[in-house]
């Protein structure tokens, strides 16, 4: 039987070998938005679970366990609401140029799912939102980063214009990782979160914020080095939403587009308990939920104050 091994260092999604993260952003002249890209090793499988009532997504249907292609070439997290989903085209362009994608006659078709947060107008110009070019830049940034590099967090990438508490406090990008122990000590589960929530950090006895004027979403990518099926990746994304609900109050509202992707590189075989074969997978999924919780806390804590013609946002008190 394995157990979670939580150390003082929260870690990063890049603790999973082969996972790289890149960002692109614009600030000033009406801008306060950006895009983040998670670039996994070739052959990584993936799935997704969308729980929010107001999602903005691209290609999530392709990650269903019943569909043709099990692999994912990149995952895009972007600002700009539905407009920002154009960034996926730039990431697809980078993937095609580098031969990454599902082989078809004449070339490849990159599988690049994406999800967006609402940050429109927070820089002062409603039309200043991420483009395909910014997606390409973020993919380049990810590809150029050394393996295992620390993740840049806070007001970067898709977290550049993020806010929490229905637009009251500054949100941002956070990351964390959890490693199992025992016979599965080689198993790493990491998370990257873009915290742009209707809610605020959960506190015992606390009350959620008022409805406010902000539209919202928390986006997460989970990565692990375990070999799993698309169906197992889907169930891992589902289980990991527990971490989102532990970190934020409220969560999964009609005004949120809360979405969690799971990526599995397949480098390590999970060792099953001989009497209870599912136990190891349950513990991995518990680790995924904890990594999500820690990444969201890190995203809130890493955010810094920003002021634009549209307003001023400060970190959540005590973060």
pLDDT tens figures, 260-307:
999 999 999 999 888 888 999 999 999 999 999 999 999 999 999 999
pTM: 0.94
What average pLDDT is seen over the chain?
A: 93
Residue 203 pLDDT:
78
pLDDT tens figures, 143-153:
999 999 999 99
Q: Would you list the domain boundaries of the chain?
A: 4-311
Residue showing tokens 């082969």: 18
The torsion angles phi and psi of 15, rounded to 5 degrees, stand at -70, -20
Look at strands 114-116 and 75-78 and give their pairing.
parallel
How many residues does the structure list for the chain?
A: 319
CATH code of 4-311, in short, is: 3.60.70.12
pLDDT tens figures, 80-130:
999 999 999 999 999 999 999 999 999 999 999 999 999 999 999 999 999
Nearest-angstrom CA–CA distance, 111 and 92: 8
| Integer Rg of the chain from CA | 18
| Structural tokens at position 22 | 């890149």
Residue 5 pLDDT:
43
pLDDT higher at 10 or 83: 83
Which residue, 209, 193, 34, 44, is CA-closest to 112? 44
The CA distances from residue 94 to 78, 87, 101, 204, 256, in Å, are: 16, 11, 11, 45, 30
């Amino acid at each position: 039987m394995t157990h979670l091994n939580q150390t003082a260092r929260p870690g990063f999604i890049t603790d999973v070998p082969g996972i790289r993260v890149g960002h692109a952003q614009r600030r000033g002249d009406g801008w306060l938005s950006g895009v983040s890209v998670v670039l996994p090793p070739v052959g990584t499988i993936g799935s997704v679970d969308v729980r929010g009532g107001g999602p903005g997504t691209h290609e999530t249907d392709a990650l269903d366990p019943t569909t043709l292609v099990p692999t994912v070439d990149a995952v895009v997290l972007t600002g700009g609401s539905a407009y920002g989903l154009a960034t996926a085209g730039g990431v697809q362009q980078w993937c095609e140029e580098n031969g990454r994608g599902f082989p078809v006659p004449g070339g490849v078709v990159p599988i690049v799912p994406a999800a967006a947060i609402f940050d429109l107008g927070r820089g002062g110009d409603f039309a200043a939102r991420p483009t395909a070019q910014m997606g390409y830049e973020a993919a380049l940034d990810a590809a150029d980063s050394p393996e295992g590099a620390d993740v840049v967090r806070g007001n970067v990438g898709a977290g550049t214009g993020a806010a929490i508490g229905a637009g009251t406090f500054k949100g941002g990008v956070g990351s964390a990782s959890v490693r199992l122990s025992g016979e599965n000590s080689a198993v790493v589960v990491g998370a990257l979160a873009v915290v742009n929530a209707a809610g605020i950090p959960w506190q015992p006895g606390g009350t959620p914020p008022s409805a406010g004027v902000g539209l919202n979403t928390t986006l997460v990518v989970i990565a692990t080095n375990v070999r799993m099926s698309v169906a197992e990746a889907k169930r891992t994304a589902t289980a990991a939403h527990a971490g989102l609900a532990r970190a934020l109050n409220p969560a999964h509202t009609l005004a949120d587009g809360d979405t969690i992707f799971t990526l599995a590189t397949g480098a390590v075989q999970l060792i099953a308990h001989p009497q209870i074969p599912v136990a190891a997978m349950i513990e991995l999924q518990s680790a995924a939920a904890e990594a999500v919780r820690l990444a969201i806390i890190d995203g809130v804590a890493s955010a810094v104050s920003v002021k634009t013609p549209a307003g001023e946002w400060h970190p959540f008190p005590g973060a």
